[in-house]
Amino acid sequence: MNFSVFFLSFSCLVCFSCCDTQTRQINATLEQAGENRLELEKVLYHYRQEQPDEQKLRAARFLLAHMEKKISSQGMPLEAYKRLIIAWHKPMPGDTLTAFWKEAQTGGNVNEQSDVALITADYLIRHIDTCVDGWRASPWRDEVTFEDFCFYILPYRIIDEQLSNIWIDSLRQRYQPMLKGVTDLKRAFALINKKIKESFREMKPACPYTLDVLTLDNLKIGICKDECVLTGAICRALSIPVAYDYVNHWTNYSRKGHSWIALVISDSTFICEKTDSLVRKAKYIPASHFVPEYALEKEYPYQISSQKRVSKVYRSLYGPIDNKNVSKAYGLNLNIEMKVKKECETAYLCTFRTGYGWMPVDATTVKRGRCQFEQLGGETIYLLMEKVEKDWKPLSMPFILHDDGRTEFLYPDNSHKMQAVLMRKYPLFANWTNQWHKMIGGRLEVSNKKDFSKSLVVDTISTTPVYRNVFTLPISVKSYRYIRYVCPDNCRTPLAELEIYDNVTGKRIEGKPIGSDFFSEKILQRPFDNDLMSVCSTKQKFWIGLDMKSPMCISKIILYPKNDGNFIHVGDLYELYYYSSCGWKSLGKQRADDFQLIYEVPANALLWLRNISRGNEERIFVYKKGKQIWY
């Protein structure tokens, strides 16, 4: 029989011999493949006729059934970029990558290309053979069902990365020796996970596309998504069943979300964080905690957040659905039922995303004027909305869903106003106070000798610093020419600004920056440039100060540690909003003339402070007991 005629007959057999869901999906893939259809049909023929193998045929059908929507970025710029990366010695500086991407973009365009039009029969057959044979020979073969194998080992891609030939063979050859003698599946996952986390450098490259896994393995630089693609590919090459889990965005932190690779054994999910040497059952979101390393003073003026919260967790699948809700596996198990207007058909549950406003995280059909949402994260503010044509309209007032399942609606009470003292526009997390606490023991010295061989300690940091730390010197302190801040032995927290004031004029003293020998002149200028976002960073113990050119009598010293720039900036223009039944309503603009803003606000209101002059990190909050409580 003519070969092409056979495939036509075989295709018809596929189309009409069975009407199950998977077959319909395979048919849809073959239709979409167009000129590449013959390549995909060869794979099915190979496992039916040339080298019959029932499991491999089922694996082939699984891949073809769910290939239809899979895409990746292709184009000459990406190929040129990868050639430059391969030729360069490692480790690679970030500015070199930026230059490489700029050079590569002169060579054409980057386009999205569908897998069904790109993948060859040889690629799929080799991939299926390698995956199935590896799984059958693995020490944990009996722990991984064929269904789990199809979902968590077999897929030839993790998400939308470029495809590469023989990636399994290459990654196996490189990483298999790490698992020599290892027969425990969890131990194997922990070893690979730890190895990549230790060697991968997190940085946002200029190239916005996800490269193939072999290039990522060569480069080991990228965002958390890139690290996940590499870790997941290595695990699957070694027959370790893993999934790409993610949150679209934190509900109280950042503009971005997070992703990680999870080990999946039957119905159980396991994770392994950066410092872990063993896996743990997934009960919380990885990287969602800033662990407070020190106990802060009772009178510390800021509310400190330590947990990044989410509303939902999803799993990216190569399978019947692209994204599976796995919130329950991570301990998100709160449910709500709410009443809405009966004419509404679909209700959307929204959270406030930094930089974007209210965004939907879940949707459900309204039945008899009621809607239900399940597997939600707590201590989060939600808002029910409906979509009317292109507009989003609220179905409720915002409400806090507490960890115990209680809902607390935020109805602003304009008949009861209170004074709110606002010190920030974004929550302060424990990662900052962890750094600042290490400054305890840091000292301020004055001297008339440049080398400080004879000096006077005028003050010492004795409590956890805040954003702006003022040290007033007693009148008895004589005139000195040199002044410096000396960090403690265990501290590397950079300074953002160091201000020295004259006791006679009250003005800030100008002079020549001085400091540790390893600081460049450019770095030394940063604590004296009136820019709180430029800092003098180092991995060594340091000192930094000012040569005032002649002895001066100092009245006070103001020290700013490195910070996130979300405190109130003197001179900046701000606007405060509260959420009313008509949406966000302004409480007026203020130009800051101090390091705090004072507003009259309705009781029980949801508030949102915006800096019109600069910055984009802003979070919603409520004001209770004299403090901003962030969500």
User: What is the residue-wise DSSP string for 164-188?
Assistant: -TTHHHHHHHHHGGGGTT---HHHH
- Give this prediction's pTM: 0.90
In this predicted structure, what is the pLDDT of residue 322? Answer: 86
Distance, CA of 7 to CA of 176 (rounded, Å): 39
586-605 burial: b if 16+ Cβ within 10 Å, else e? ebeebebeeeebebebbebb
Whole-angstrom Cα distance, residue 359 to residue 351? 6
> Is 448 among the domain residues?
yes
pLDDT at 10: 44
**β-bridge pairing 443-447 and 480-486:** antiparallel
Q: Are residues 580 and 537 in the same domain?
A: no
CATH of the domain at 360: 2.60.40
pLDDT, position 20: 85
Centre a 10 Å sphere on the Cβ of residue 92 and count the other Cβ atoms it contains: 18
pLDDT of residue 476: 82
Query: Does residue 582 form part of some domain?
Result: yes
Q: How many CB atoms lie within 10 A of CB 529?
A: 12
Give the span between the Cα atoms of 241 and 372, in whole angstroms.
33
**Cα distance from N-terminal residue to C-terminal residue, the chain:** 69
Phi, psi of 268 (to 5 degrees): -105, 145
Residues 275 and 400 in one domain: no
Confidence at residue 320, expressed as pLDDT on a 0 to 100 scale: 86
Which helix (H) or strand (E) segment holds residue 224: the answer is: helix 224-237
Instruction: Count how many domains the chain has.
Output: 4
Same domain, 389 and 483: no
Residues 15 and 40 in one domain: yes
Q: Are residues 503 and 613 in the same domain?
A: no
> Are both 619 and 550 inside the same structural domain?
no
The answer to whether residue 130 is domain-embedded is yes
Residues 401 and 448 in one domain: no
Shared domain check, 156 and 183: yes
Q: Pairing state of beta strands 428-429 and 304-305?
A: parallel
Q: Please choose, from the candidates 117, 153, 135, the residue with its C-alpha nearest in 3D space to the C-alpha of residue 53.
A: 135
User: Following DSSP, what letter does each residue of 4-18 receive, concatenated?
Assistant: HHHHHHHHHHHHHH-
Q: What pLDDT does residue 1 have?
A: 41
The pLDDT score that the predictor gives to residue 282 is 94
- 319 domain-assigned: no
Which residues 6+ apart lie within 8 Å of 487 measured at CB?
Answer: 439, 442, 493, 541, 542, 543
Beta-ladder partners of 271: 280
Residue 604 · residue 564 · CB < 8 Å:
no
What pLDDT score was predicted for residue 375?
A: 97
pLDDT of the residue at 18: 41
| Domain identity same for 609 and 515 | no
Residues of the chain where predicted confidence (pLDDT) is lower than 50 = 1-19
Which is it for the CA torsion 585, 587, 588, 593, positive or negative? Answer: negative
Helix, coil or strand: residue 61: helix
Would you say 161 and 210 are in contact if contact means Cβ atoms under 8 Å apart? yes
Looking at the domain assignment, is residue 599 inside a domain? yes
Residue 400 belongs to a domain: yes
Do 454 and 379 lie in one domain? The reply is no
Residue 291 φ/ψ, nearest 5 degrees: -70, 120
Report d(CA 563, CA 394) in Å as an integer. 36
**Do both 80 and 200 map to the same domain?**
yes
- Which residues, including other chains, have CB under 8 Å from residue 213's CB and lie 6 or more apart? 158, 161, 164, 167, 171, 229, 230, 233, 234
At 375, the amino acid letter reads: Q
* Dist CA 261 CA 159 (whole Å): 12
Q: Are residues 352 and 452 in the same domain?
A: no
Domain coverage including residue 586: 418-426+567-630
